[in-house]
């Protein structure tokens, strides 16, 4: 047995990592059902948090220079790193509950962290989500978020459930984030609302949770409509025809001098975080009603078919060929 002559110093060390975690913890939020949040070796979530539902869990990583431009405002990154995960939960029809945040930072920058957490917290509060843990390390800027949600048993929206004859719908407008990115890369000024479409996507959580009973299959549009709809169709072993003149375009895209450019941005532009879903024709009215109640645009763009492949058709029903490819991760 070791005899201690002096009392142990039980105060936590104030090294830069710990003061950053303290700073993060002040913005963590709080909700029922979290028995233990930030501070121990792991978080504890009560069964009540899930209310007898299935747990839904997803992760998304954002790397500087790959997923966002160098010098992106920290507030934007705080919002977006959480938003992209909430969009994945929405695509499953799930309600967000909690998240963890793994931050790799070039230096322990208090100002950066404060602004990052400002963006995070504003979105987390909207969804009653608590930050329950994470990790903080030094290295090239990288943000990895894991989000946890719940969905009533067997009500999750899957990619694999589309059926021939379903209608294909999308929320919001497509291609705005890609337009905003190209303007930023060109160093052009732009409308703040257009910049928000890239920097502050609004995950369609409320829409998905309220309409899940009427939706057959769902995916969020993160890599561009063509790429993501193809994932849904492949998982469902179906094909589809899309009418490109039905694609929902914002005023910014409508105003482009080249209508083909607008169309191609809507088909292949990434980072929109809208939802693309299929539903039986008799369910469309119910889904529309939910969208209307939320003042959310909802457009029917095509039909699921048994023949594999995605057919893009112009206003005359002729094949349409986009000029730019989808975003690829590698």
Residues at the interface with Mg ion (CB under 5 A): 135
Q: Which is nearer to ligand ADP, 117 or 263 (CB)?
A: 117
Closest contact distance (angstroms) between CB of 134 and Mg ion is 8
Mask 100-139, x = binds ligand ADP (CB under 6 A)? -x-x---------------------------x-xxxx---
Q: Please, are residues 272 and 221 in contact by the beta-carbon 8 Å criterion? A: yes
Dihedral sign of CA atoms 152, 158, 164, 165 in order: positive
Closest contact distance (angstroms) between CB of 135 and Mg ion is 4
The listed partner (Mg ion, ligand ADP, none) that binds 24, CB under 5 to 8 Å by sort, is ligand ADP
User: Using CB under 6 A, which residues numbered 15 to 74 contact ligand ADP?
Assistant: 21, 24, 38-41
DSSP symbols for 188-211:
----HHHHHHHHS----HHHHHHH
| Helix extents (H) in the chain | 16-25, 47-50, 74-91, 110-126, 176-185, 192-199, 205-211, 225-236, 251-254, 259-268, 284-293
The listed partner (Mg ion, ligand ADP, none) that binds 21, CB under 5 to 8 Å by sort, is ligand ADP
- C-alpha distances in angstroms, 164 versus 7, 130, 234, 264, 277? 73, 40, 13, 26, 13
Quote the DSSP letter at residue 102.
E
Rounded Cα gap, residues 232 and 159, in angstroms: 5
Q: Which is nearer to ligand ADP, 21 or 123 (CB)?
A: 21
Q: How many amino acids of this chain bind ligand ADP (CB under 6 A)?
A: 13
Rounded Cα gap, residues 117 and 28, in angstroms: 8
Question: What 3-state class would DSSP assign to 33?
Answer: coil
Q: Please, are residues 326 and 227 in contact by the beta-carbon 8 Å criterion? A: yes
Q: Which is nearer to ligand ADP, 103 or 242 (CB)?
A: 103
The listed partner (ligand ADP, Mg ion, none) that binds 101, CB under 5 to 8 Å by sort, is ligand ADP
Q: Which is nearer to ligand ADP, 106 or 308 (CB)?
A: 106
Closest contact distance (angstroms) between CB of 176 and ligand ADP is 30
Q: Which is nearer to Mg ion, 32 or 135 (CB)?
A: 135
Closest contact distance (angstroms) between CB of 38 and Mg ion is 11
**Can residue 279 be called a binding residue for ligand ADP (CB under 6 A)?**
no
Q: Which is nearer to Mg ion, 21 or 238 (CB)?
A: 21
Rounded Cα gap, residues 228 and 217, in angstroms: 12
Using CB under 6 A, list all residues that contact ligand ADP: 21, 24, 38-41, 101, 103, 131, 133-136
């Amino acid at each position: 047995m070791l005899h201690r002559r002096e009392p142990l110093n039980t105060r936590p060390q104030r090294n830069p990592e710990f003061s950053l975690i303290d700073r993060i913890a002040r913005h963590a939020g709080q909700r029922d059902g979290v028995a233990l949040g930030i501070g121990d070796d792991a978080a504890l979530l009560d069964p009540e948090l899930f209310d007898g539902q299935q747990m839904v869990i997803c992760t998304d990583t954002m790397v500087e220079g790959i997923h966002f431009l160098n010098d992106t405002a920290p507030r934007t990154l705080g919002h977006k790193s959480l938003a992209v995960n909430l969009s994945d939960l929405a695509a499953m029809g799930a309600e967000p509950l909690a998240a963890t945040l793994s931050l790799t930072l070039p230096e322990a920058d208090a100002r950066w962290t404060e602004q990052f957490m400002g963006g995070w917290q504003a979105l987390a509060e909207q969804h009653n989500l608590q930050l329950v843990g994470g990790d903080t390390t030094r290295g090239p800027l990288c943000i990895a978020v894991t989000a946890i949600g719940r969905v009533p048993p067997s009500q999750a929206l899957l990619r694999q459930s589309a059926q021939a004859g379903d209608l294909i719908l999308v929320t919001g407008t497509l291609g705005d984030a890609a337009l905003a990115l190209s303007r930023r890369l060109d160093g052009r000024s732009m409308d703040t609302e257009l910049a928000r479409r890239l920097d502050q996507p609004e995950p369609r959580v409320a829409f998905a949770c309220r309409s899940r009973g009427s939706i057959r299959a769902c995916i969020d549009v993160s890599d561009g409509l063509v790429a993501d709809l193809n994932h849904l169709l492949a998982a469902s072993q179906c094909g589809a025809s899309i009418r490109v003149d039905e694609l929902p375009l914002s005023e910014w895209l409508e105003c482009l001098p080249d209508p083909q450019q607008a169309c191609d941005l809507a088909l292949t532009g990434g980072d929109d975080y809208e939802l693309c879903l299929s539903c039986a024709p008799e369910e469309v009215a119910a889904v529309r009603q939910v969208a209307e109640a939320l003042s959310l645009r909802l457009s029917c763009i095509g039909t699921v078919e048994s023949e594999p492949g995605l057919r893009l058709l112009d206003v005359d029903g002729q094949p349409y060929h986009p000029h730019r490819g989808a975003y690829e991760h590698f």
